[in-house]
Amino acid sequence: MMQVAAAADAVTAGCAFPDQEVSARRQWSLAEVLALYDLPFMELIWRAQNVHRQHFDANAIQRSTLLSIKTGGCSEDCSYCSQSARYDTDLERERLMPVDEVVAAAQSAKDKGASRFCMGAAWRSPKESDLEKVLEMVREVKALGLQTCVTLGMLKEGQAEKLKDAGLDYYNHNLDTDKEFYGQVIRSHTHDDRLDTLAQVRDAGISVCSGGIIGMGESRRNRAAMLVQLANLPKPPESVPINNLVPVPGTPFGELPPLDPFEFVRTIAAARITMPTSYVRLSAGRQEMSDELQTLCFLAGANSMFYGEQLLTTDNADIRRDDALFERLGLRAI
Ligand code: SAM
Ligand code: DTB
Ligand code: SF4
């Protein structure tokens, strides 16, 4: 135990630098991140909370609302996804939504207290004609005074620049899992394809939102390796969603058993320590979590969440329950 703590001491010492550039340049090894996971739980949470307080107000949580602007019928084979056309999931396909309906949903999200509106489309990558409509959505949602985020799949050259010009603040594109496990989740595109889109987004000057899913049968080593890959990007993502798998009946992962919740909390803590200045988002799977488990995630350094009754195609935690939890914990929405 002393050895593990000493290895992890060396690891967290680097996080004392408040300067983003210094911590961003630090490269993480798999052994270092595994040493964090191996710490006794209390020790890990304490360290994560310390790092968190060096960079953030520990009582403030950023809230984003999701909307599926184009649902189902996706060509890709992501084994967790309700929207893949390859699996029989009972999902009703919907065409790209009209701009005015999207703007109305964004206004409602703003009225309820979200600061960012994330529009998701079930595409391998957007067609030019569809992108034009999304650009209009981005312009109009931005004009409401909301931060804008879209997740549209892989981008082709020039598309990120168009999104930037329309006023896009964030592009979500998850690594989902580490390079080694990727082929057991998705075969219709590669981990390198994901990295390529992330580079295009970064080069266009759009903030990067990228994280993954926990509980897909991956090992702790896979989880740690995914965090290493995210933290060691030329610049770490500004936003890191950590999703707990929502098992969707009909998908290859629809019957997977739930992961030990403490392993999920450990992943949040390791994300916080390895990406000290990023917003770590407690993402899918919150509906199934108790208030106490969500509180442990906040204590471990999660400071962002999806707020609203729906994620993309599955239910999210109830807004009244979230509001009550914020009240009970003295949390402030940002
Ligand atoms: N098609 C685009 C793409 O793949 O990037 C955007 C939409 S896709 C649904 C966005 C992300 O949602 C995925 O990368 C995955 O991390 C997450 N996600 C999808 N289904 C999920 C599930 N059942 N449980 C947890 N996370 C899920
Ligand atoms: C992210 O990491 N999680 C969100 C958002 N980015 C697009 C999506 C979660 C989807 C959960 C399953 C569903 O509702 O379809
Ligand atoms: Fe398509 Fe995205 Fe779902 Fe994969 S995760 S099947 S790319 S919508």
Give the per-residue pLDDT at 68: 98
Asked whether the predicted pLDDT for residue 20 surpasses 70, the reply is no
- Given this model, what pLDDT does residue 5 score? 55
Question: How far is Cα 66 from Cα 168, in angstroms, rounded to an integer?
Answer: 15
pTM of the model: 0.94
- Nearest CA to 162 out of 146, 138, 140, 145 is that of 138
Give the model confidence (pLDDT) of 249-274 as tens digits. Answer: 999 999 999 999 999 999 999 999 99
Q: What is the mean pLDDT of residues 193-218?
A: 98
Q: What is the mean pLDDT of residues 273-294?
A: 98
Q: Is the dihedral of CA 294, 299, 284, 57 positive or negative?
A: positive
Domain covering 61-333, topology: TIM Barrel (3.20.20)
pLDDT of residue 26: 83
The Cα 29–Cα 35 span in angstroms is 10
Residue to substitute in 123, 124, 312, 315 for testing ligand 1 pocket (most ligand atoms within 8 angstroms of CB): 312
CB-based contacts of 200, cutoff 8 Å, min separation 6: 155, 157, 159, 160
Nearest atom within ligand 2 for CA of residue 81: 15
Name the residue ranges covered by the structural domains of the chain. Answer: 61-333
Q: How confident is the model at residue 162 (pLDDT cuts 50, 70, 90)?
A: very high
Could you tell me the distance, in angstroms and rounded to a whole number, from the CA of residue 84 to the centre of ligand 3? 6
Residue 224 has a pLDDT of: 98
Residue nearest atom 15 of ligand 2, based on CA coordinates: 313
State the pLDDT confidence band at 3, using cuts at 50, 70 and 90: low
CB 269 within 8 A of CB 227: no
297 is catalytic: no
What gap in Å lies between CA 281 and CA 177, rounded to an integer? 16
- Arithmetic mean of pLDDT over the chain: 94
* Percent of the chain topping pLDDT 90: 92
Question: Residues 15, 47, 74, 272: which is the catalytic one?
Answer: 74
**In one letter, which amino acid is 131?**
L
Type of residue at 315: D
Dihedral, CA of residue 64, residue 65, residue 70 and residue 72, to nearest 10: 90
Ligand 2 pocket, CB under 6 A: 66, 82, 118, 120, 151, 172, 174, 211, 241, 243, 246, 283-284, 311-314
Phi, psi (degrees; rounded to nearest 5) at 167:
105, 20
Atom of ligand 3 nearest to the CA of 124: 7
pLDDT at 249: 97
pLDDT at 11 over 70: no
Best residue among 174, 239, 255, 267 to mutate for probing ligand 1's pocket (most ligand atoms within 8 Å of CB) is 174
Q: What is the Cβ-side half-sphere exposure of residue 50, based on CA atoms within 13 angstroms? A: 13
Distances (CA, A) of 116 to 18, 139, 142, 196, 215: 26, 14, 9, 25, 27
Mean pLDDT of 292-298: 98
Q: How far is the CA of 284 from the centre of ligand 1 (A)?
A: 9
